[in-house]
């Protein structure tokens, strides 16, 4: 039985980024070389690689701990993280300054 896969278009939003001349030349060279179709692809790929590197670093640090979370964070994980940040910020604001 064949499965139908629905692919939704990627919704993008513009982002203004200032680059040094050296980085700008590098991005343009990546397009000129044919590795990427346009400058946007270069930037998106760079960000995806940064995300992957962060995941790999996290896994290297925490993968050996018993009970360490596996896989991507869940919605509950995100909610717990946000709640912890709010508690931390609230606690810091309550500390009197002298």
Whole-angstrom Cα distance, residue 36 to residue 26? 12
Q: Buried b / exposed e across 61-97, counting CB within 10 Å, b at 16+?
A: eeeeeeeeeeeeeeeeeeeeeeeeeeeeeeeeeeeee
pLDDT value of position 96: 54
Domain positions in the chain are 19-64
Mean pLDDT by 10 residues, the chain (98 residues): 72 92 98 97 95 88 72 83 85 57
pLDDT value of position 59: 80
C-alpha neighbours within 13 Å on the C-beta side of residue 41? 10
pLDDT value of position 22: 98
pLDDT value of position 92: 62
């Amino acid at each position: 039985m064949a499965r139908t896969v629905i692919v939704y278009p990627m919704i993008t939003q513009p982002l203004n980024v200032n680059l040094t001349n050296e980085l700008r030349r590098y991005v343009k060279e990546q397009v000129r070389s044919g590795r990427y179709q346009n400058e946007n692809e270069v930037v998106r790929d760079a960000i995806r690689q940064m995300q992957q590197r962060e995941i790999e670093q996290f896994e290297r640090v925490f993968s050996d701990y018993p009970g360490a979370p596996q896989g991507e964070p869940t919605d509950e994980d995100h909610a717990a993280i946000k709640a912890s940040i709010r508690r931390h910020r609230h606690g810091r604001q309550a500390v009197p300054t002298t």
